[in-house]
Amino acid sequence: MQETEATREAAQVRRNWLLSLPALCLLAAGAIGPLFIMLVYSFLTPGKYGNVEWIFSLDAWRGILFTRDIFDDTLKLADAHLTIFWRSVRLSFMTTVFTFVVGFPTAWFIATRAPRWRAFWLFLITIPFWTNLLIRTFAINQIIRNEGFLNTALIKIGVISEPLNLLYTDLAVFVGMTYVYLPLMVLPLYAAIERFDHRLLEAGYDLYASRLAVLRRIIFPTVKPGIIAGSILVFIPSLGAYVTPRILGGGRNMMIGNFIDLQFGQGRNWPLGASLSVLLLVVVTAALLIYVRFANRDGGHG
């Protein structure tokens, strides 16, 4: 009887997989196909007017870190490329840290309100998602530009005598990405804090722990999955950001996303753009694997 039941379940599972096979094939073609094209292009030779020539070459991968001297054809470090990589990682890390510093108290405030008010505060947090990313970035542009709201207000109250040059700087990109990705940090933190057992705080205080010790030894370890999830959700899109650095950086403060676009556009070096895209995918995948490892270690099952 048990064998018959097990056989019936196995047959049902096979039928379900067969019924799902057309949809899975479409998803694979739509998701894996473009990535495979990028991988193939990264090993080809750039054409004279864009596109590629079907000649195998490793120059694109070599060109990520090195460039050839135009006089003696020797290889040397591509300082401009390394600057862009460093700026991308640095700004993404800073954005992740600052969104956590701002997002954690925000999430704690929402999670500790009365249940009937939590939905209202979460509603306020999600309002920016109702507006297109481009519109939100232009709004930041209008606030921090020389004749914008911030400089105008500071001049009128006498704090400064001339406008601060904020636009088209790394600071402008950092501010823009922090504003854009802050909700992605708050929501996972709120989900983790909402499940926090506040009796642990009472136990910590009863054992004469200071507020800092309670925060470091009780709260942070307990909500660690939310911290990791929020950090991943902020760091990954920040690393590949395109719109915000393009508008607030003005094309001079490029990040990896803008650099990839440059190779497929004005640079006409599709293999290099493809190799950069694959590299970015590898970095993102590594970050996700690290998150899964920590989540499984701390969260147990599921």
Domain that holds residue 149: 78-299
Model confidence at 3: pLDDT above 60: no
Task: Identify whether 199 is part of a domain.
Answer: yes
Mean pLDDT along residues 76-104: 93
Model confidence at 302: pLDDT above 60: no
Assess contact for 147 and 162: CB atoms under 8 A.
no
Model confidence at 241: pLDDT above 70: yes
Task: Identify whether 30 is part of a domain.
Answer: no
Model confidence at 295: pLDDT above 90: no
Task: Identify whether 37 is part of a domain.
Answer: no
Q: What is the pLDDT of residue 121?
A: 92
Strands (E), the chain: 45-46, 52-53, 66-68, 75-77
CATH number at residue 181: 1.10.3720.10
Q: What is the pLDDT of residue 299?
A: 52
Task: Identify whether 39 is part of a domain.
Answer: no
Assess contact for 239 and 256: CB atoms under 8 A.
yes
Phi and psi, residue 77, nearest 5°: -60, 135
Model confidence at 100: pLDDT above 80: yes
Model confidence at 137: pLDDT above 50: yes
Q: What average pLDDT does the chain have? A: 87
Assess contact for 265 and 50: CB atoms under 8 A.
no
Model confidence at 69: pLDDT above 50: yes
Of 179, 177, 151, the closest CA to residue 236 belongs to 177
Model confidence at 233: pLDDT above 80: yes
**Would you give the distance in Å from CA 259 to the centre of its chain?**
16
According to DSSP, the β-strands at 52-53 and 45-46 are antiparallel
Mean pLDDT along residues 25-37: 86
Q: What is the pLDDT of residue 301?
A: 40
Mean pLDDT along residues 127-154: 89
What SS3 class is residue 48?
strand
Tokens coding 242: 């395109």
Mean pLDDT along residues 174-201: 91
Q: What is the DSSP code (8-state) at residue 218?
A: I
Q: Considering its fold, how many domains does the chain have in total? A: 1
Q: What is the pLDDT of residue 265?
A: 86
Tokens coding 60: 């694109």
Assess contact for 200 and 222: CB atoms under 8 A.
yes
Model confidence at 46: pLDDT above 50: yes
Model confidence at 40: pLDDT above 60: yes
Task: Identify whether 99 is part of a domain.
Answer: yes
**Range of lowest pLDDT (4-13, 220-229, 292-301):** 292-301
Task: Identify whether 57 is part of a domain.
Answer: no
Task: Identify whether 146 is part of a domain.
Answer: yes
Residues of the chain with pLDDT > 70, as a percent, come to 96
Q: 188-201: per-residue pLDDT in tens?
A: 999 999 988 888 88
According to DSSP, the β-strands at 75-77 and 66-68 are antiparallel
Assess contact for 253 and 173: CB atoms under 8 A.
yes
Q: In whole angstroms, what is the distance from residue 192 CA to residue 195 CA?
A: 6
Task: Identify whether 154 is part of a domain.
Answer: yes
Assess contact for 107 and 195: CB atoms under 8 A.
no
